[in-house]
A and B are shown apart, each in its own frame.
Chain A
Amino acid sequence: MSDTAPRPDDAPVAAADGEPRHFARMIAIWLMLSLILDPLFYFLVGPHVPPGTMTSTAEENQFDFNILIVIALPVLIAVWVYLGYSIVMWRAPKSGVADPVGGETARTHLGVQAAWIAITSVIVLFLAGFGTFELISTNGAGGGEGPNPIWTPTAAHILPIQVIGQQWAFTYRYPTFGGFETKQLMVPVDTTIAFHVTSLDVIHSFWAYQLSIKADANPQVDNVAFTTTNHTGSVTVRCSELCGLWHGAMFNYGQVISKQAFENWATATEKANASNTKLLPPFAWTYVPDANGADGGYYNDTVVPYSPSEVYGAKQPAS
């Protein structure tokens, strides 16, 4: 421990007249901790970071989070090392007067400034590039791409599922199974899904957490988001846009199930719902709700035909 204030010309590298090489010490501690903690985090904690690996987008988002944390961890360690080192080395003595703050010792140091600007610039620019690449390479990373998505998956068979937000529930229409509507979100495993998200009233946001899908539900807008399911499991769906009184209760659950189980479920539900499906408006990507209250239903917008790019097996959409 030293009671001596650093000399004005000793930071960050100089160690004149017996003064310890503080900067070198801090760098060594930081480097050692970073080299230990970064791999520990990535390999031990990383696989458990939300949102998991249920879908391709979830897996990619988990990877992105892990990269961000691996980059952020050394920055965090640097701050803590500097703080801890300062407390140990330069705290005020129990007796006597604390070292003065300011003056020559607090003057700017060109090397430190340049390094700070360079390092933070590199990190920010890398993250901007990395983020953009991840957005493109994962077909929108599970986010809504609007009605004309530019990052579309190349899978031969894409199952379209329409998500309809309304105050205060999500319902789902399956156009390749007669256009039936249900409150259950059921998804087959190992399948590329196109979620077509729209609303019948105000703005909602469809957030299927484990699927890593999040897309705004706007009235008269077909907001498309893609993902590919990797394994089976439960899905929690929540509205993530404050949408009124019962927003907090606007959630439900779904399942990613085997392809055969999905076929069985969809076929059975199509049959069970047939009496109500025929009363629904013809399937469309968006609907025109009546804005004047209870008087009237929602209507097929008759504008956009079904996208031929989304064909699930041999099935064609109801429209």
Chain B
Amino acid sequence: MSFRGRLSTFLVLLAVVVALAVYTVNTYFLPQSGVADFTLAQPAGAPVNLTVQTVGQINFGPHPTWVSYLVQDPSGQWLHDTTWKVPAHTRINVTVRQYDSGSPLRNQQWGKVQGVAGNVEILNGKPISVYDSNSGNGVGHTFAIPTLGISVPLVAVDPNATNICSSAPCHSDSVSNTITFSFMSPGPGEYPWQCFVPCGLGFLFGNGGPMSDANYMGGFLDVVQ
């Protein structure tokens, strides 16, 4: 083969390798989601309404069987984004639509509502400050921002219900619990949030998989001025 032929072959192979590398990094290593921005067109000082849902399996993307959070952007569209940009020193009204089943908490300490207004969450219209995860359907997930002292148990749905959501985004025709609570956003900064239920089924201690990927059961509250 001539020099030009060898060079062409080399360049083609190089391009293939680079393309594979870019695809691999982009698919498996880089965040798959963007930022849900709640600061756009937000009147100064007005409360931010943050609506999220937790689903038993997301059913799309590189890990379709993984459990995940989704967020509803201001236009009402459900996004697989776990970085939520909110304004500083603003009341954040959170609504969680919890579509997943659950279990007793590994540490019942996370069954206590902490760090939010009144240390109370509203579960399907009823205020609670502590949820006994060994009773009822248990807890599916928690929403916690440890650096802000926030921890809210998300009570699970009946695992035997016939209309359990099996594919995200879930809608109101599936069984769900609605949990609401409020908190004040702090000063600017990035505040990690996470779930304290080891819900990475199939992984050691349940904290692998979706619990160890910032795009599923954890992310950042990106607080900006």
Contacts and interface: CB of A to CB of B under 8 A. Distances in A.
A129 interface: no
A248 to B, nearest CB: 8
Nearest to B212: A245
B169 interface: no
Interface string A289-314: 11111111110000000000000000
A150 to B, nearest CB: 31
Contacts of B192: 246, 249
A117 interface: no
B108 A200 contact: no
A167 interface: yes
A171 B103 contact: no
B157 to A, nearest CB: 14
Most buried by B among A201, A250, A293, A296: A293
Contacts of B133: 279, 297
A70 interface: no
Contact of A293 (B203, B214, B218): B203
Contacts of B146: 168-169, 183, 246, 249-250, 252
A298 B144 CA distance: 19
Contacts of B202: 293
Given A168-B194, A275-B129, A293-B202, A200 B106 contact: yes
Interface residues of B, number: 40
A297 B205 CA distance: 11
A298 B106 contact: yes
Nearest to B105: A297
Categorize the interface residue count of chain A: 20 to 34
A294 B198 contact: yes
Contacts of B211: 167, 245
Given A201-B198, A297-B133, A181 B205 contact: no
A54 interface: no
B123 interface: no
Interface in A262-319: 273, 275-276, 279-281, 289-298
Contact of B204 (A250, A252, A291, A295): A291
A293 B199 contact: yes
Given A201-B106, A276-B108, 20 more contacts: A167-B198, A167-B211, A169-B196, A171-B107, A183-B149, A183-B151, A245-B211, A245-B214, A249-B147, A280-B109, A289-B205, A290-B106, A291-B205, A294-B198, A294-B199, A294-B201, A297-B107, A297-B108, A297-B133, A298-B107
